[in-house]
Amino acid sequence: MPMPHECTILRRSYGEQTEFGGEKELKDAVAGGVKCFVQNANANEITRFAKSEMMVSTKIYFTSEPPLREGDQVLITANCQGTSYLNQQFKFQAIDDATAGFGILWKGFFLRESNPIEPVV
């Protein structure tokens, strides 16, 4: 199944100290060039997660299980079909599997964190 988007999975880490004594937050790329398909979550999905006190706004489909864990962020880096998700950042909330015809996709649920931003390199 062709995927119209591409993303980079980012994970928070901490490096050198700031001038105030705390540690500087960094974002390391865990995986890049990951093919995906971004869609808005529907009302049923939003309500289902709200019952567990989780906020979701978006679902992203992957062709293989992505290396995601709590706190990770996904940055959309390529749009093959001109939809408006380019350079948007999403915070990972939960993963689910989904079938598509005879194939299996992994479906991650995310909360949109930003308006379009410049890609993190």
Question: Tell me: the pLDDT tens digits for 70-108?
Answer: 889 999 998 876 667 888 889 999 987 677 666 788 899
* Cα dihedral 84/90/93/97 (nearest 10): 50
Report the C-alpha gap between 89 and 71 in whole angstroms.
12
Question: Tell me: the pLDDT tens digits for 16-31?
Answer: 777 787 777 788 899 9
DSSP β-bridge partners for residue 59 = 39, 109
What is the second-level CATH architecture of the domain 5-14+27-112? Beta Barrel (2.40)
Given a cut of 80, is residue 43 above it in pLDDT? Answer: yes
- Kindly list the domain boundaries of the chain, sorted by start residue: 5-14+27-112
Residue 99 tokens, joined: 């079938």
Q: Give the single-character DSSP code of 6.
A: E
16-31 CB burial, b ≥16 within 10 A, e <16: eeeeeeeeeeeeeebe
Residue 109 tokens, joined: 């649920």
Query: In this structure, which amino acid lies at residue 57?
Result: S
Query: What's this model's pTM, rounded to 2 decimal places?
Result: 0.80
